[in-house]
Structure 1
Amino acid sequence: MNYTLHQLQIFLKITQLKSITKASEALFLSQPAVSIQLKKFQDQFSIPLTEVVGRQLYVTDFGQEIAEAAEKILNEVNAINYKTLSFKGQVAGRLKISVVSTGKYVMPYFLSDFTNKNSGVDLIMDVTNKQSVVKSLENNEVDFSLVSVIPEQMNLERVELMANKLYLVGGTKDKFDRKVSKKKIFETYPMLYREDGSATRSAMESFIASHNISTPKKMELTSNEALKQAVIAGLGYSIMPLIGIKNELKNGDLKIIPFKGLPITTTWNLVWQKSKKLSPTALAYLDFINSEKERIIEENFDWYNQY
């Protein structure tokens, strides 16, 4: 056996993505380069690691076992590198964070200075839906999660970052009948919702129910970006987080419609399990957040108070 760490890395990425093309994109390599390294790696084993059925690549049972071993080896190599940097007095290690989809407009600002200052930190940020974020916390797969609604069933620690404000929003090119009362907007025009399980949808549904508003026309979209474009195009109205529509408001593509009881205000929270033993890297990040969050908010979200 004479395989390299580079080959292990490539093979592991192929098994994770089930695609040579996607692996090459993730590793910033050409597809031929990845294919060549996979062949060289396969040539060292008499048992197939992968197989192609139709156009789909499948990992064999043997290949899956090799992939698991490769992941362990690569993790150990990374640990050696982190320890070397730590002995030099640098913060080094992996920082894994899961973020609800709208949180992508928030979390990067609370990470950039920390990662720029600590080059030995490898950041893994998964932007996904609320259910997946909660699952990653339950399975102890991440150091921290960013949520606007705290999962009640879990025993969590938290740091409050900033307010999350949700407004009734419409496109500026719509043909809204000015004679229709604002409350009738919900009954007259389609209301656009996020998918089930979304914190934004839950907040919207709670608001509508608490105000006894009827919404006979409904549409559902599975991402904040899709929802935003649908509102801009005039498909309907929605209650949306302010944090995600800054540019659209500035450019005049969207407008906030004043409505009694709005905005809905929640809080963006960085959370982690109370029972979790945080790594030195995670503890260093927590110290950074506690000492720098006010500065970060002031420097990056001063526009927020205009609404």
Structure 2
Amino acid sequence: MAKYRNRLPQLEDRTFLSDGGMETTLIFHEGMDLPHFASFVLVSTEEGRARLTSYYEKYLAIAHDYGVGFVLDSATWRANPDWGRKLGYSAAALKAINVASIELLERLRARWETPVTPCVISGAIGPRGDGYKAGNMGADEAEDYHSFQIATFAETEADMVAAYTLTNINEAVGVARAAKAHAMPCMISFTVETDGRLVTGKTLREAIETVDEETDASPVYYMINCAHPSHFEQALKAGEPWLQRVYGVKANASAKSHAELDESETLDAGDPFDLGQRYRSLTRSFPKMRILGGCCGTDHHHIAAICEACLPSAAARSA
């Protein structure tokens, strides 16, 4: 049995960090070629695994310095059947790469976990299609589609599954149902446009409340990712019950729209200090938001700035 599958420590009243924009960091900062934005291909080679290990360890060092937990998301956002076929992976090869991605995180946890820095292993899931487009799957089709990857994670030491950059409610419902069927704790993270709504026009409140209604509230919590805080701050109102289900944020560094980012040939790293201050405002207004990470354009410098803004320093903790 996976270490934390039955008792996720991030559900307690404590702060956890997550990583930043894995793919944008590897492409723009490290000059790596990731076909179809797929970082899981790196797990196939010794050099690729070393690059991923180095990437994760920059964030783990920050979590260690601040004495907080860490959610280790696997490099498998694109490792689902449709994207796997585009990259030439058979079903067996795709399953093997998902398993190997979790094994890489097991090795990291063995080296970095301490009593004050628990490390949760999370099998990352991405949308079937593009993370900026709506898609048209029904909930039943989405459940069947995502079961392949979730069933694979259920056979590993993954503590949970985490679905990122979902753009429509039906796919989220399908992921949540598949996770429940395989007895895997599940996190759902939606992405929004500059108006704070999903690309379908639905509000975050509508999305979260509908998924909970359709799944008997089976996701353990929700997050928001792949959008700048300025895009969704106005959609959050203190005191609304649905916000008690939102436990974290992995925001973009840039305030540009998804369309602008999709067309950009250079990385917009935004302002790490400003991002940190926005996270500080969010965590003060919404105490449940205690899982802090980044998405497109962010790296470990952004996460360090977020920690500096939101968490007591090591010196203050030891005083």
- Identify the TM-score tier after normalising by the shorter chain: under 0.3
Computing the radius of gyration over CA atoms, which structure comes out larger, 1 or 2?
1
Which structure has the highest strand share of the two? 1
TM-score of the aligned structures, taking structure 2 as reference length: 0.27
TM-score of the aligned structures, taking structure 1 as reference length: 0.27
